[in-house]
Structure formats: structure tokens, C-alpha cells
Chain A
Amino acid sequence: MIEIISESKCISCNLCVSVCPTNVFDRTSGGIPVIARQSECQTCFMCELYCPVDAMYVSPDAESAQVVDENELEQAGLLGGYREKVGWGPGRTPVAKHPYMYELTTKGAIS
């Protein structure tokens, strides 16, 4: 479930509020959005993927909230890690066109 909106990184663009399919966040007046309904989070990682400044962290645990530490996540490269792998963001190439996508199918494997 969604655990972190980094106060130091968030630019209050509210994109996460818009893209969340299950309406977990609320806008606030002038500030950063809040995780208003964490239990509604379906752990689909879309907010994290769309966040332009890598300010969010979704814990993979879909059932229960986790205690996480932003600094530790940052040092482990986990903040924004998914976005990087999908290849979204300035200067990145979408993973969709990665040569491995083709190579894998030539090996009779599933993509």
C-alpha cells in the first residue's frame, strides 16, 4: 500500500490524486496531497510511476500497512525505482522498446 509522499520532494502537482484509480489521495489547499484513504489502496504502483519527482513509495504489501523510513528507502534506491525500470522520465528510454522484449520471444520464452 502507499506509504510515503515525501514532503521534501513533492512539488504539489497533484498528479497522484488524479491518476489513482481508487481515489486514495486528497488535495490540500496549497500543500502536498495527503494519503486520505490508505485502506482503499490496491497496490497497483500507478501513483509512484506517474510521480514526476520520485516522491512516492508504495510498499508491495497489499494487505497491511508497513513502517518504512524515507531515508533508508532513498539510500536503497527504492524511491522512484519503479519509474526508472519502466523507463519513464527525462532522458530515459521506455522499457517497452528494450531489445530484450524481442530477444526473449526468440528463445521461446514468454514475455
Chain B
Amino acid sequence: MNVVTIESAGIELEADVLVIGGGPAGTWAAISAAAEGAKVVLADKGFCGSSGATAPSGTGVWYVKPEDRLRQEAKDSRYTLGGQLADNDWMNRVLDRTYDNMNKLGAWGYPFPLNDSGDQHRRSLQGPEYMKLMRKLVLKAGVKILDHSPALELLADEHGVGGAAGVRTQKGGTWRVRAGAVVIATGGCAFLSKALGCNVLTGDGYLMAAEAGAELSGMEFSNAYAISPTFSSVTKTAYYRYASFYYEDGSIVEGAGSQRGRSVIARNLLQGRQVFASLDQAPAEIQPMLRVAQTNFFLPFDRFGIDPFKDRFPVTLRLEGTVRGTGGIHITDTDCSTKVPGLYAAGDAATRELICGGFTGGGSHNAAWAMSSGSFAGEGAARYARRLGLLKGTRRLQGLASSPLAGSTDASTAGRTEEAVRAVQAEVMPYNRNLFRTEAGLDDSLGRLDTLWQERREGAVGRDIGGVKAREATAMTATARWMYRTARLRTETRGMHKREDFPRLDESQRYRLVSSGLDDIRVRVERLAAQPATNSGSAAGTRTETNDPVTVAGLHAEATFPGSDIARYETTTAGLTGVGQENPVPSASASADQPAKEAARS
């Protein structure tokens, strides 16, 4: 293989800001950077406008009028559900920016429905419509879009990140963009589970960020599973609030439900008992409205001749990983910058703990986070690139991939990639490994994942489609290791993270776990401010320390340690019985639909 030949078959571009990923966060980043005067390139793995979890779907949005009472209710609604790890200042900023951006969408032509007064009702977005508009806005802003152009690696020099390189899967050859700053908006990781729109979301951005030295936060909050018919990719869980759950003989599955009862469904499935659902609790008068509000939800039923309001259909729980989890790249400042100069993160690629702690419960917060963090990151990256100024043309950039990028992918390499994907899936998909976690299970998985990581690290990666798939498998492997390392250390049950061996919340573990590293995974504690009183109108916790693990205060003097030295952390469980409180399982009134109800009241 001759590298020069490949390079000459590619394109090379210069920009102030490169955005990787063209979903909601990436498109908002692109138009926000362009509005700051930056020259912007956006590279999407698939097609900007149809790629990712949002485009084929529909989502509520955390859109709350700027009135104190409404805002406080909105912030309180999921604060406890999220294990009290959200941050008041961040929630305020995201609520403000989401409100502004949704209003802009209305002005820019998004076809919102009208309320009784004839004003736009801006509470949800239809994915196809939203993302078609976002693509149009990105192009109108003068942004250069590279479709079908997955990134293989970031480029950097001693000043920090300065671009990325990848493959053009439809046009052939490679791409390389030199940029003053890079925004990673590659989404989360759903481990190729075929959850709706999620197969482009393989944790690529986590891997690239970690290779550049960035940290991740909240990776233990990565075990989201969505209810879906067994025969379908459509993972819209919201409507299952209207469902009854049955066994094959027609008897009721006690305790099963879309929110607190998802575990009951999982335990039945684990024991080989198929669970069936029927949306037979939906009042007849709203059924036609439900059909309109989520057209895609009904598509599989209509095509298979099933009436979901009457018939019983078999359901499963499909892994959505960090897509509907909350873990992601650690954010170090209000402009969504990371620890690495020139590197920004937005959307599901970034941690969402800042606004919803360890549990999202639905698309509403993620959608708000995507459009807000995208804007923050785009603006921050543009300003950073401007400060960098003339330097950017003279930089000697090198690729950061942890595996050697060389050669082209042959059949045996492609085979190893497929094996690796299956191997990672076998660790993260089973409910008794990822949904219900135990120390023994996590250690067991980590042993195999560490071995797999070494294999992945050593294998050469071609600058072609096979190389893209190889990197996806590597990113999934790395993601699983960050997930389980942090899950291993969080010896309690908090947010979506469930430990069978530590089924209660431990107040002394009200902190974030920040992970980093590739071969040796390090985890440090990021402590939060004193426990706030919830539902009282007082501020939620603010971060006390961000980047300096040495000065982290509190119970754990040693906040930084190598991944192999897990034992030290076992002390965190010491006070469990004394201070533990009930597992924050949502009550019916605090379920995921809460913001929508609030929105309806407002």
C-alpha cells in the first residue's frame, strides 16, 4: 500500500472550525460557528439530515418559558431521578438557550402546530422535518458539508487539536481537514443494536477524544434499554405508558411498565418468558392523536397488520447505551470545551449529567442539550479559532489514532472486526451484565474486554470503509471498558446505574466519575457542592473541582488512580447501611412525561 497514492486520491480542506457529526448538535454547532464569522466544515459519517437518532424519530423538547416557577419545576422534575448529579447553572443555561433556539426554529420555518391563540406551540420536534431544516440552514450559513465522510482520527500538534482525517465512503479516497478547532458531535454509542437510527452511533467521538487526552464523565450511566416490539427497530418507549403487559397465556405481568417496571420486563425476558404488550390503556379519544404525534411508532404495526391499541405483540428491550444514557465527553467550561485545547464536544457525544444527572428518561432533555451544547460549542470553537489566528496555517499536525492507520482492509481483517463487534455486544447487551450489574459480572466482562482492547490496539486500520468499521469496533470496545470501569467503582444504585450487589443509593457517592485513558483507564472523582434541598427552589449543586484531581475534597483524598487499582475504592461502601436511602426509582408522577405535562400546563 502506498500512502501517497491514497492521500492524493483524497481532498484536503482548511477551516476555522471542523464539526464532526451532522445530527442536531453538529448542525447547531455549525450554524453557530458560522454566525460567529468562522469558516466551517461539517463531516458526517452518513448524511447530514438523515443520520443519527433524531432524524427518523420525533422528540419532545425541554422548552420551558422563562418564568421562575415553571423553570424551577422543570429543574426539580428529574433532579432526584438523575441521582442529584445535575448542575443548576448548566440547567439554567440550557433552558435559556433551548428556549431561544426553539423560537429561532419557529422563525426560520419549522412548521410548529398552532395553539388556541394562533401562536406556535413549540414543545416537540418531528425528526425528519427538523433535520431537513437544519441541513438547509447549515448550507445557507455557507458551511461545507462532507456527507458519507466518517472521521478516522483527530489531528494535533503541541498546541492541541487542529483537524481530523477520514474516509469518503461514497466518493472514494480520503479527507483531511485542518481546522483551528474541532467540535465532536458524533452522538453516543448504542453498540449497533439497531435501535432506531442508532447504527451510526458507535462511540467514535469518545475514542477520538480520549486519544487526544480528553476525559469522559458519567460513563456508568450507559445502560439505557428501550422497549420495542421484537420485530421492529422502533424504540419509542414513551407510548408504553399506555401499555398493559401480558404473558403468553394472557395473564398480567405484575409490576411491568415503561418506567419503573422496565426491570420487571427484563427479568422475565432473562428467564425466557416472553412479555407481550398492548396499548389498551390509551383512551379512545386520544388514539388518533397519538398516531399523528409519532407516525413512525405505528409504521411497524400497520405494516404487519397489528392494532397496537387492541392486539398483544411481543416486546423486547433494545440497548440504547449512552444514546439515551447520560455519559460522554467531559466538559470543562461553559463553551463546551474539553480538557484538550481546540477540542469541543456537544450533544450525546458529551456528558449530559450536567442537566439530568444519571438518568434522562426520554428525548426531551437530550434534544435540549443537543441544540444548546451544539450552539455553545460552535461559538466557543469559533472564538478559539479566531484567537489562534495566523498560527493555524503553520501547524505540523499528526494523526492521533491509537491503532496504526495503514494499508487496506483485507478479508481477514474484516472478519476480525465482525468478531470484535459480536464480542463487545456479548458483554454490553445482556440484561444480566449491563442493566443489572454486579461486581463479579463487571470483572468478568472487563477481563475479556481488556484482552479484546489489546487486540484491537495492535491491528492495523485501513484508510477505507473496512478501516471505518474496524475503528467502530475499537470505539465500542473502548466505550464498554469506560462504562464498566466506572460502573465497577460506583458501588451503589443511582440514576440508571443499577448494582444488584449495592441496590441502594449511597449519599456519600454523590459525585461524578471522570474516566480517561486507553490502555490503562484512570477514574477520578469530581465532587459536587453540598447536598441541595430539592423542590425548595434552592440551587442545585455546582461543581467544586474540574480539572485538578489532586485537590478534590471530601471523603476520598486520592482521587486519581490507575484503572487496575480498584480495591482502594471499596471504602466508599463502608457507610452504606447508615446513610443509604431508597433507590430513586421514579414514582408515577415523576415519570419521563413530566416535562410534557408541565409544558401542557404552561
Q: Does A75 contact B (CB under 8 A)?
A: no
Q: Which residues of A contact B (CB under 8 A)?
A: 17-23, 40, 42-46, 49-50, 59-63, 78, 81-82, 85-86, 88, 94-111
B599's partner among A21, A98, A105 (CB-CB below 8 A) is A105
Q: Which of B298-306, B340-348, B374-382, B484-492 contacts A (4 or more CB under 8 A)?
A: B298-306
Q: Is the CB of B121 within 8 A of A101?
A: yes
List the B residue with the shortest CB-CB distance to A85: B295
Q: Is the CB of B233 within 8 A of A96?
A: no
> Which residues on B sit within 8 Å (CB–CB) of A102?
113-115, 121
Q: Is the CB of A82 within 8 A of B113?
A: no
Q: Does B92 contact A (CB under 8 A)?
A: no
Q: Is the CB of B123 within 8 A of A105?
A: yes
Q: Is the CB of A110 within 8 A of B303?
A: no
Q: Is the CB of B299 within 8 A of A101?
A: no
Closest 9 CB pairs of A and B: A21-B46, A60-B300, A62-B233, A42-B199, A97-B111, A43-B233, A101-B113, A44-B56, A46-B50
Pairs across A and B, CB under 8 Å, 28 listed: A19-B50, A20-B46, A22-B199, A23-B148, A42-B196, A42-B197, A42-B233, A43-B232, A45-B56, A45-B296, A45-B299, A46-B56, A59-B303, A60-B232, A78-B302, A81-B302, A82-B296, A82-B299, A86-B128, A86-B129, A95-B126, A95-B292, A95-B295, A96-B126, A102-B115, A102-B121, A110-B293, A111-B596
Q: Does B427 contact A (CB under 8 A)?
A: no
Interface residues on B, range: 35 or more
List the B residue with the shortest CB-CB distance to A98: B292
A34 CB, nearest partner CB in chain B, Å: 14
Q: Which residues of B contact A (CB under 8 A)?
A: 45-47, 49-52, 55-56, 58, 60, 110-115, 121, 123-126, 128-129, 147-148, 169-170, 194, 196-200, 231-234, 238-239, 241, 285-286, 288-290, 292-296, 299-300, 302-304, 465, 593, 596-597, 599-600
> Which residues on A sit within 8 Å (CB–CB) of B110?
96
> Which residues on B sit within 8 Å (CB–CB) of A43?
194, 196, 232-233
List the B residue with the shortest CB-CB distance to A103: B289
List the B residue with the shortest CB-CB distance to A45: B56
> Which residues on A sit within 8 Å (CB–CB) of B199?
21-22, 40, 42
Q: Is the CB of B295 within 8 A of A82?
A: yes
> Which residues on A sit within 8 Å (CB–CB) of B125?
96
Q: Is the CB of A60 within 8 A of B233?
A: yes
**How far is A4 from B111 in the complex, measured between Cα atoms in Å?**
31
**How far is A96 from B596 in the complex, measured between Cα atoms in Å?**
16
Most B Cβ at <10 Å: residue of A22, A108, A110: A110
Q: Is the CB of B60 within 8 A of A18?
A: no
Q: Is the CB of B292 within 8 A of A110?
A: no
**How far is A18 from B46 in the complex, measured between Cα atoms in Å?**
8
B298 CB, nearest partner CB in chain A, Å: 8
> Which residues on A sit within 8 Å (CB–CB) of B288?
100
**How far is A40 from B232 in the complex, measured between Cα atoms in Å?**
15
Q: Is the CB of B232 within 8 A of A61?
A: yes
Q: Is the CB of B200 within 8 A of A99?
A: no
A97's partner among B113, B232, B238, B300 (CB-CB below 8 A) is B113
> Which residues on A sit within 8 Å (CB–CB) of B286?
104, 107, 109
Q: Is the CB of A110 within 8 A of B60?
A: yes
> Which residues on A sit within 8 Å (CB–CB) of B58?
111
List the A residue with the shortest CB-CB distance to B242: A109
Asked if A105 meets B56 with Cβ closer than 8 Å, knowing A19-B49, A22-B46, A22-B200, the reply is no
B426 CB, nearest partner CB in chain A, Å: 17
Q: Is the CB of B303 within 8 A of A78?
A: yes
**How far is A70 from B114 in the complex, measured between Cα atoms in Å?**
39
> Which residues on B sit within 8 Å (CB–CB) of A59?
303
> Which residues on B sit within 8 Å (CB–CB) of A49?
128
Asked if A21 meets B114 with Cβ closer than 8 Å, knowing A59-B303, A102-B121, the reply is no
> Which residues on B sit within 8 Å (CB–CB) of A40?
199
> Which residues on A sit within 8 Å (CB–CB) of B285?
107
Q: Is the CB of B129 within 8 A of A44?
A: no
Q: Is the CB of B194 within 8 A of A98?
A: no
B184 CB, nearest partner CB in chain A, Å: 18
A104's partner among B46, B241, B293 (CB-CB below 8 A) is B293
Asked if A105 meets B596 with Cβ closer than 8 Å, knowing A78-B303, A96-B126, the reply is yes
> Which residues on A sit within 8 Å (CB–CB) of B296?
45, 82
A62's partner among B121, B194, B292, B596 (CB-CB below 8 A) is B194
Q: Is the CB of B126 within 8 A of A19?
A: no
**How far is A103 from B115 in the complex, measured between Cα atoms in Å?**
8
A62 CB, nearest partner CB in chain B, Å: 4
Most A Cβ at <10 Å: residue of B58, B196, B199, B289: B289
